[in-house]
Amino acid sequence: MAAAVIALPLAGAAFLLFFGKRMSKASAYIASGAIALSFLSGLILFFRMLGEPGEERSFVMKVYDWVNVGGIHGNGELLLDPLSIVMVLVVTGVGTLIHVYSIGYMEGDPRYSRFFAYLNLFCAAMLILVLADNLLLLFVGWEGVGLCSYLLIGFWFEREVAAGAAKKAFIVNRIGDFSFLLGIFLIADEIGSLSVTEINAGAATMGTTLATVGALLLFGGATGKSAQIPLYVWLPDAMEGPTPVSALIHAATMVTAGVYVVVRFSPLFVAGGTTALTVVAWIGALTALWAALMAAFEYDIKRVLAYSTISQLGYMFIASGVAGYSIGIFHLVTHAFFKALLFLGAGAVMHALAGETDMRKMGGLRRAMPVVGLTFAAGWLAISGIFPFAGFWSKDAILAVAWEQGEYALWALGLLTAALTAFYMSRMYFRVFEGDLEVPEGIHVHDAPRTMAVALVSLGALSVVGGFFNLPGVLTLEHFLAPVLGEPEVPHGVIAWALAGAALVVAFAGIFVARALYLQPEGDARRERLEKTAPWFVGAARSKFYVDEFYGRAIVAPGKAFAGFCADIFDKRVLDGLVNGVAWVVNGVSSKGRHVQTGYVRNYAVIFLLGVVVIASFMFLRVGV
Amino acid sequence: MTEVSPGYFLALAGLLFTIGVVGVLVRRNAIVIFMFIELMLNAVNLFFVTFARMQGNLQGQVLVFFVLVVAAAEVVVGLALILLIARRRASLDVDKVRLLKW
Amino acid sequence: MGLNTPEIELLGIAPEIALVVGALFILIVDAIIGEGGNKWHLWILSTIALGVSIFLAVQAWGSNELQMGDMIAVDGFAAFVKITLAVFALLTVWLSRSYLHRDGIEESEFYGLLLFAVAGMMLMASAADLIMVFLALETFSLALYVLVGFRRTSLTGQESAMKYFLLGAFSSTFLLLGIAFVYGAIGSTQMYGSSAAGAGAQGIATALVSLPAGEFTLLVIATGLLVVGLGFKVAAVPFHMWTPDAYQGAPSPVTGFMAAATKLAGFAALIRLLDAILFPLRGDWRPLVIGIAVLTMVVGSVLAVVQEDLKRLLAYSSIAHAGFVFTGIIASNDRGVSGSLFYLATYGITVLGAFAVIAVLGGRDERRTTVDDFRGLFYESPLLAGALTLFLLSLAGVPATVGFVGKLVVFGAAVEAGYSWLVVVGVLASAVAAFFYLKVLVVMYMQERQEGAEPATSGYGGLATGVIGLAALATVALGLYWSPLIDFAERATFFFSAGG
């Protein structure tokens, strides 16, 4: 059954790759059917698991003998436990909805069936990743999702930016993968096994230093895949792909693979003492804040969401870093709901506005497209952390567990990020959906088509109620995950209430500031009118202007300058430069070095002879003649 | 008859080999380059014979025959290849043969 | 005092004999049949000869002895290499049939020379005497010189043959010099030395045991020269300079054959020499080979990045792969030796497949071999593009392909032997290498076909398709289920490892 979960989308992908050309519409239904069936299999497995007592819910299924080389043995084994089944349900569930959405969204694309083949292939690889009990198999999935992500970012390769973004994603991820692979080698060498279960069982026997190094190498891979500092630069660019791809791969599933790996190997991270976990938590917290800052100054609707994804992934790493693994997974689940929703909503807006992504050219769309507007509002409130939407519960839980661990600095950073999150999401919502109707010329705005609406409404509903999976006191999800991940320590009583209250207050503060700043155009217009008709009002308007000016100078301008610095100098020059620099150096060395190959056969002989001379002298020195 | 020290033979062989190497590197005519390679092979033959005398067995002298046969076969193939190029380009200059580079 | 005739045992070289007989038979039959006709008998006869050769090589599996006056080693290692070589040759023959037939240059000499070359390479694998190594090396080299220049009228073909020939002849003098030094050091050119006591029964292995440590001077220097001569054949830096030029100018099936089989033959001799015979001297040759390995991996990977011609690109990639094989040799433990064999066998299949795709797509006279010529290939012939993708991914070492397994095994062996830093260099080099494989993939999938370009494929036989299919199948199947081949390689080297 577990194998079927993977095999279904894999078969769908293979079928469509080979025969998809001859069918257009049908391919979408085949792909969606395959992933939906996979979701059903996942559900069956889930309910079957619920029938077992807690300790017996983990089992390893051997699919086939894979490798037996010298000391290393690894089999094609799948690990089915509460953690992996939760991931399976998220991947296939959200995956199904996004497949359905794509039926409408991708309509008319010349490579329609190829798109669905890639989507199915991606799901299969992602499922391999989360179900693998073998590091090699896990790595196959890890590389597989990377490959699909790369193919899908560059899906519209006719556009140069898309091809460039795909290349960037690939290269940045190679750096992470390199670290990941080294980690695998190190761990396999030390433990003598590639099995996830055996590694976790034997992690305690590894030396502290080795465990730390191994854990950090794995985390290095995670920073690539999950777009954390310093390897996050590829994700905003990845938005060049079709929007359903951004929703599925770059919001809900693939980018969470890093979080999954950290959580999956939590015993290894713990075995290394506090160092590895501290690094994870701090990288997460800094990334969360940093990306939120970037999001607040971005005008491209998809790039705001990309930065927001990076920021939310940071939260998940905070949770993992303070040993709140199941809370990290909880946030992963709710985030999958509301971020997929936000992306699909943004996609619907772009769909209606002929591909426009600049928020400054939008406004008042709520009335023109009520379904999108309403569901987007649900996503907005969820990510902002407003009670009782999904994001409130999970984000509050992360902040609470950080507080309980005594990591007050992390908690403060998280709280600050929460305020910023509420601010930039509200800014986006107000600009796009509130105010006067404002669309580029010559466009007739239409609401989302039926297939797209189905996905939006389902995800909208999940964004509203997703938090109830893990209500404080009931803790369904945490108890379910406890046999694998243990129970996190959370505060109780007054402190818990106070922390939740604080989170809520900053969220509302963020929304309020955004409202004051971005429903402003109406104010501007009114002021102009008053200036003409009633000069006595000008003084007051002027003073308001001065306030604005002061506000602008004191807060916005430095903030803007700082964000500008971050975006231009640090982001583009330093981090981008680092990545591009390596490529540039290799390219340069290569184009210079090729000229050694002059084409003159006698030059070849000279180089040959040089080699002989060096070797002969070396050997002479060696024997001491 | 005085015994000549094998050291002289070795030195001569080494010298011949070096001349061969230098010749390969400095000459531009494909045939001449090839002749220098033959010189190198014969220098090695001299090594074999000298070592055979030092070691006091005949194996080294037998090996020389193998080398001679191989060298002859090499000449057959090599000259054919060089002629093919010479016929097409009307030149034996190896430095003019560089379509393939970089 | 009777004449002491050596006992004649032919089992050890029976596969070679079959090939030589087969080659001569092909030449004679073709002379009798004469011009005209479809010439199908050429590839059929070659296939039969290779089949017989495989059958005979399998017979030697399991024995472990020296034959023909201790000149020939009959062991699992030799059998493994011979069988693999014959498989490479089979694929090459089938591919060549399509290729030569299309280009109208199908001649019996091609098949004859190919079989001679394979015979020489096989001899290389079981050579237990250095002079045998030299003879085997010359046998296959002379055949290859002609095969490389087989497109007689092509300027690049001529050029590559000449360069390969001059440098090849140059390098074999150094090998021969090394052999002379070995003879000077121990009075014999045998590797193992006879078990039967007596004068002249000395071999390198026995000498290393019996001679006092101070007398190895000449042997150590000779080792360096042997590494040079064999390093040339496997395209190790800095003896690699011929590789890009020869690979680019040679007919694609020959290039694939060279990348697969020459490398295997050269490494077979190197492995036997370094990891078995000269194992006690590893302290001396290891630093040398490590230097070569690092240079080879780095130079091959880096210089490939800017290549525009796909054949040339794969030539540089083949240089880098030689470096990866060296890591297994340096480890010189059981896993290293069997891992190197596994790597060579699987790399050969993959690279043959890649060159088969190029041979098919290059069109008549190989007019289209630049990376740009492969633009948008996927939308024109998805299956060929898919196969090439598979081969390139395998060369890049992506999981679920056999290339990944190969790297895993040799790198694992190097880590086991305590050369983790070498593995780091290797992984870095393969990360760089991923760049240029990616470049080709990008072109195939993400660029539009040029306006007015010729159709990608024109007139290639079912045989070539079969070769590509087989290679692709092997690349995936062995990538997912590699244990049998690894087992085979391990048992092939079971009696072999001297000290490992």
SS (H, E, C) A143-171: HHHHHHHHHHHCCCCCCHHHHHHHHHHHH
Q: How many CA atoms, within 13 angstroms, populate the side-chain half-sphere of residue C112?
A: 14
The band of C400, judged by pLDDT with boundaries at 50, 70 and 90, is confident
* Helix, strand, coil in percent for chain B, rounding step 5: 80, 0, 20
A471 and A566 share a domain?
Answer: no
Encode burial over C92-124: b for 16+ CB neighbours within 10 A, e otherwise: bbbbbbbbbbbbebbebbbbbbbbbbbbbbbbb
- pLDDT for C299: 92
Cβ <8 Å between A599 and B94: no
- List residues bridging with A229 in a β-sheet: none
Return all residues near A365 (Cβ < 8 A) that are at least 6 apart.
A349, A352, A372, A373, A432, A433, A437, A439, A445
Do the Cβ atoms of B51 and C179 come closer than 8 Å? no
> How many Å is the Cα radius of gyration of chain C?
22
List subunits contacting chain A, requiring 3 or more Cβ pairs under 8 Å: B, C
Do the Cβ atoms of A138 and A132 come closer than 8 Å? yes
Q: At what angle do helices C402-416 and C420-446 cross, to 10 degrees?
A: 170
- Boundaries of domain holding A85: 1-272
Q: At what angle do helices C155-186 and C217-233 cross, to 10 degrees?
A: 160
- pLDDT for A540: 43
A98: three-class secondary structure by DSSP = helix
Rounded mean pLDDT, C268-288:
91
Weakest-pLDDT range from A50-59, A312-321, C39-48, C137-146: A50-59
Residue A69 phi, psi dihedral angles, 5° rounding? -115, 115
Distance from CA of C168 to the nearest CA of B (A): 10
Q: Chain B contact for C173, CB < 8 A? A: yes
Helix (H), strand (E), coil (C) string for A425-476: HHHHHHHHHCCCCECCCCCCCCCCCHHHHHHHHHHHHHHHHHHHHHCCCCCH
Distance from CA of A610 to the nearest CA of B (A): 12
Average pLDDT, whole number, for chain A? 81
| Distance separating alpha carbons of residues A559 and A516, to the nearest angstrom | 17
Domain B6-89 adopts which CATH fold?
A: Helix Hairpins (1.10.287)
Weakest-pLDDT range from A224-233, C165-174, C469-478: A224-233
B102: which chain A residues are within 8 Å (Cβ-Cβ)? 594-595, 597-599
Residue A77 pLDDT > 90, yes or no?
Answer: no
Do the Cβ atoms of A116 and A99 come closer than 8 Å? yes
- pLDDT for C500: 34
The interface residues of chain C toward chain A in range 362-391, judged by CB-CB distance below 8 A, are 382, 386
The band of C168, judged by pLDDT with boundaries at 50, 70 and 90, is very high
Residue A551 pLDDT > 50, yes or no?
Answer: no
Peptide bond between residue A230 and the one before it cis (omega within 30 degrees of 0): yes
Q: Chain C contact for B92, CB < 8 A? A: no
Q: What is the pLDDT of residues A25-47, one digit of tens each?
A: 788 888 999 999 999 999 988 88
The band of A545, judged by pLDDT with boundaries at 50, 70 and 90, is very low
Q: Based on the structure, what is the number of domains in chain A?
A: 3
Average pLDDT, whole number, for chain C? 88
- C-alpha distance from residue C213 to each of A60, A490, C272, C321 (Å): 56, 71, 22, 35
Residue C1 pLDDT > 70, yes or no?
Answer: no
| Distance separating alpha carbons of residues A397 and A331, to the nearest angstrom | 9
The interface residues of chain A toward chain C in range 182-241, judged by CB-CB distance below 8 A, are 182, 185, 189
Final residue of a domain: which of A254, A272, A290?
A272
Percent of chain C with pLDDT over 70: 93
- pLDDT for A330: 92
Return all residues near A272 (Cβ < 8 A) that are at least 6 apart.
A208, A209, A211, A212, A213, A214, A215, A216
Q: Chain C contact for A561, CB < 8 A? A: no
Do the Cβ atoms of C305 and C429 come closer than 8 Å? no
Rounded mean pLDDT, A327-341:
92
Q: Residue ranges per domain, chain C? A: 11-499
Which pair of structure tokens corresponds to residue A77?
A: 């084994």
The band of C83, judged by pLDDT with boundaries at 50, 70 and 90, is very high
Is A281 domain-assigned?
no
Which residue of C139, C166, C211, C299 is the best one to mutate when testing the B interface, meaning the one whose CB has the most B CBs within 10 A?
C166
A244 and A173 share a domain?
Answer: yes
Q: Which of C479, C469, C461 is nearest to C395 (CA)?
A: C479
Q: What is the pLDDT of residues A188-207, one digit of tens each?
A: 878 877 788 888 888 888 88
| Distance separating alpha carbons of residues C317 and C275, to the nearest angstrom | 25
A510 and A473 share a domain?
Answer: yes
Report for A49-63, A117-131, C57-71: range of highest mean pLDDT: A117-131
* Helix, strand, coil in percent for chain A, rounding step 5: 80, 5, 15
- pLDDT for A71: 47
The band of A527, judged by pLDDT with boundaries at 50, 70 and 90, is very low
Residue A583 pLDDT > 80, yes or no?
Answer: no
Q: At what angle do helices C155-186 and B6-26 cross, to 10 degrees?
A: 170
Is A606 domain-assigned?
yes
A534 and A608 share a domain?
Answer: no
Q: Which of C488, C475, C486 is nearest to C346 (CA)?
A: C475
Is A215 domain-assigned?
yes
Return all residues near C249 (Cβ < 8 A) that are at least 6 apart.
B100, C148, C149, C154, C156, C157, C158, C159, C160, C161
Which pair of structure tokens corresponds to residue C373?
A: 């010529």
A467 and A597 share a domain?
Answer: no
CA angle C42, C43, C49 (to 5 degrees): 95
Q: What is the pLDDT of residues C91-129, one digit of tens each?
A: 999 999 989 888 888 888 999 999 999 999 999 999 999
Residue B85 phi, psi dihedral angles, 5° rounding? -70, -45
| Distance separating alpha carbons of residues A117 and A52, to the nearest angstrom | 36
- Ramachandran sector of residue C459 (left: φ over 0; alpha: ψ -120 to 50; beta: rest): left
pTM of the model: 0.68
Q: Chain C contact for A476, CB < 8 A? A: no
Residue C246 pLDDT > 90, yes or no?
Answer: yes
Nearest-CB residue to B24 (from A594, A597, A605):
A605
Which pair of structure tokens corresponds to residue C29?
A: 């039959």
Give chain A's contact residues with B (Cβ, < 8 Å). 594-595, 597-602, 605-606, 609
Alpha carbon A19 to chain centroid, angstroms: 32
Nearest-CB residue to A599 (from B24, B33, B100):
B100
Return all residues near C253 (Cβ < 8 A) that are at least 6 apart.
C92, C95, C96, C99, C355, C356, C359
Distance from CA of A157 to the nearest CA of C (A): 5
A505 and A587 share a domain?
Answer: no
| Distance separating alpha carbons of residues C254 and C257, to the nearest angstrom | 5
- pLDDT for C115: 96
**Regarding predicted confidence, which is higher, A532 or A473?**
A473
**Regarding predicted confidence, which is higher, C39 or C182?**
C182
Q: Chain C contact for B54, CB < 8 A? A: yes
Residue A542 pLDDT > 70, yes or no?
Answer: no
Do the Cβ atoms of A488 and A321 come closer than 8 Å? no
Nearest-CB residue to B100 (from C145, C159, C184):
C159
A108: three-class secondary structure by DSSP = coil
Final residue of a domain: which of A508, A542, A576?
A542
| ipTM (interface predicted TM) | 0.96
Which residue of B29, B96, B102 is the best one to mutate when testing the A interface, meaning the one whose CB has the most A CBs within 10 A?
B102
Is A304 domain-assigned?
no
- Ramachandran sector of residue A166 (left: φ over 0; alpha: ψ -120 to 50; beta: rest): alpha
| Distance separating alpha carbons of residues A403 and A395, to the nearest angstrom | 12
Do the Cβ atoms of C356 and C253 come closer than 8 Å? yes
Cβ <8 Å between C170 and B24: yes
| Distance separating alpha carbons of residues A163 and A156, to the nearest angstrom | 8
Nearest-CB residue to C184 (from B51, B81, B82):
B51
| Distance separating alpha carbons of residues C259 and A562, to the nearest angstrom | 56
Do the Cβ atoms of C319 and C294 come closer than 8 Å? no
**Regarding predicted confidence, which is higher, C48 or C34?**
C48
Peptide bond between residue A110 and the one before it cis (omega within 30 degrees of 0): no
Residue A546 pLDDT > 60, yes or no?
Answer: no
Residue C144 pLDDT > 80, yes or no?
Answer: yes
- pLDDT for C149: 92
The band of A526, judged by pLDDT with boundaries at 50, 70 and 90, is very low
**Regarding predicted confidence, which is higher, A473 or C252?**
C252
Weakest-pLDDT range from A473-487, C11-25, C461-475: A473-487
Is A322 domain-assigned?
no
One-letter amino acid at A47 equals: F
- pLDDT for A564: 57
| Distance separating alpha carbons of residues C205 and B59, to the nearest angstrom | 18
The band of A421, judged by pLDDT with boundaries at 50, 70 and 90, is very high
